[in-house]
Every structure is written in structure tokens, then in C-alpha cells.
Amino acid sequence: MQEFLTSWGSWTWLILAVGLAALEMVVPGILLIWLAGAALVVALVDLLLPLEWQAEVALFAVLSVLFAYVGYRWSNQPGQQLSDKPNLNMRGQSYVGRTFVVAEAIQNGRGKVKVGDTLWAVAGSDADVGTSVRVTDVDGTMLVVEPA
């Protein structure tokens, strides 16, 4: 094992960096790109200043943690608007404030409204078919409504 590790050089780190970057495109998440960056830096350092394999591995470990931390902090900045449509994949949230017509009477607090060509389960005060209701909140996949 030690012979294998002593034969590592800058090319090995460069190949590792390319392999990790390629895996980042296949595997979901954004961790491997930071590890690829750390491997690339180790490859460049090893080209300029040949290091023992122990120092290379230690440098890779430190840079991996540092790059992953900086990447995490950069991607999760508070107040950062990630999208102009933050409710894009939360369809129910996009219905809050809108008015719909009851399709199946709301009895004992449960019923259905017609949204486009889909029936959505609702929770709210009892209402007859044809009554207009306004969506006030979303509870999982159920819309919370009140009389409009």
C-alpha cells in the first residue's frame, strides 16, 4: 500500500480531480466539485513543490473540508433569492389567495375544489357545491379554505 501511495504524483491528483468533477455531473448534490477543486489544488502544488504523499493527503483533506465549508456558506447565503418563482415546485402555495368553486361539498371540514381540470382536497368550514372559497393556507397536499 505504501508503495502505491509513494508513486502518487501530480498526475494522479489531476486524474482524481477530473474523475470527481465527472462524478459531480452524474451524482446529485454539490459536494464532489469541492473535492475535485481540492484535488486540483494539490496537483498544482505538487507540480510546483514536490511533497511527500502524507503531506499531499493531509493537504487534500484540509482543502476538501475548507472548500466544502466555503461552498456550503456561499450557496446558502441568507436573504439570497434563488429564483424569481420560489413556489415553482410547491403548486399548493401558488394557490394561496386565489378563489375557487367547491366541486364536492365541504362536510365535516373536508371537501374538494376544482382547480383547472384537477380536484384538490380542501379543509375548511362546511360549504355547498358551487360556493366560492378562498385559499388561505396549504397543509401538505390539502388546501385550507374560507368562504369568499
3-state secondary structure 21-88: HHHHHHCCCCCHHHHHHHHHHHHHHHHHCCCCHHHHHHHHHHHHHHHHHHHHHHHCCCCCCCCCCCCC
Q: Specify the pLDDT at position 69.
A: 93
Do residues 58 and 21 both lie within one domain? yes
How far apart CA 131 and CA 122 sit, in angstroms, is 13
Q: For 90, which DSSP code? A: -
Q: Supply the range of the domain harboring residue 26.
A: 2-75
The domain boundary, picked from 75, 104, 131, lies at 75
pLDDT at 58: 95
The pLDDT value recorded for residue 90 is 77
Residue 29 has a pLDDT of: 79
- Do 69 and 17 have their domain in common? yes
The reply to whether 57 and 96 lie within a common domain is: no
- 86 located within any domain: no
Other C-beta atoms lying within 10 Å of the C-beta of residue 91: 13
* Confidence (pLDDT) at 148: 85
Give residue 4's pLDDT: 62
Does any domain span residue 84? no
Q: Are residues 99 and 135 in the same domain?
A: yes
**Mean per-residue pLDDT pooled into runs of 10, the chain (148 residues):** 69 92 89 94 92 91 95 75 68 88 94 92 94 93 92
**What is the distance between the alpha carbons of residues 29 and 22, in angstroms, rounded to a whole number?**
13
- Which CATH number fits the domain that encloses residue 118? 2.40.50.140
**How many folded domains does the chain comprise?**
2
In the block, residue with C-alpha cell 446529485: 28
On whether both 60 and 95 belong to a single domain, the answer is: no
96 and 37 inside one domain: no
